[in-house]
Amino acid sequence: MQRIAIFASGNGTNAQRIMEHFQDHPKIRVTLLLSNKADAFVLERARNMHVPSVVFTRNDLYDSQHLLDILSVQCIDFLVLAGFLWLIPGYLLQAYPSRIINIHPALLPKYGGKGMYGMRVHESVIQAGERESGISIHYVNEQYDEGQIIFQAKCPVEPGDTAESLANKVHELEYKFYPEIIEKVMGS
């Protein structure tokens, strides 16, 4: 059985979809959720799905190998970022080469990088007059949103779309494709 740990910071809709997708999977399970915010709703979602969770600090991530110890004890094979906004440190990248992926709510390389997340991305896409947007699923490296792209899916940006309406279209793509692509990348 391959074991996934999800890193998430917020509401956790993508994390929930991923947990649901693998709940009865014969070869893959989400066995741990990690969050840097003790009040993140994603922790409630994990509890409801009976997935253990760990809340950690900036120091836990950057100034110690505490998280690597937790991941090792839990026999985690693969890391998935789902609304996690901190840069992944080098020691985790070394411990999980080509086994950490992220989803971004735009067609990278456009509208990526530090500070480009959530509604900021959709507002930028609308303001730029883009005709399409979408999602990018990519490997994680030392830079924000610069890892090798694994998969992209597109949606139209219609005249009259707002950041909110575009976000809804992008969320639908995330929910549909992220669990499927995780499964493919993990080779199952």
Active site residues: 104
- What secondary structure letter does DSSP report for 106? S
Smallest CA-to-CA distance from 88 within 137, 42, 140 is with 140
Q: What's the order of all strands across the beta sheet hosting 132-139?
A: 53-55, 28-35, 2-8, 78-81, 100-104, 132-139, 149-156
3-class SS at 4? Answer: strand
Compute the distance between CA of residue 145 and CA of residue 33 in angstroms, rounded to an integer. Answer: 21
- C-alpha to C-alpha distances, 93 to 13, 35, 46, 139, nearest whole angstrom: 25, 18, 24, 10
- ∠107-145-111 over CA atoms, to 5°? 45
Compute the distance between CA of residue 120 and CA of residue 45 in angstroms, rounded to an integer. Answer: 25
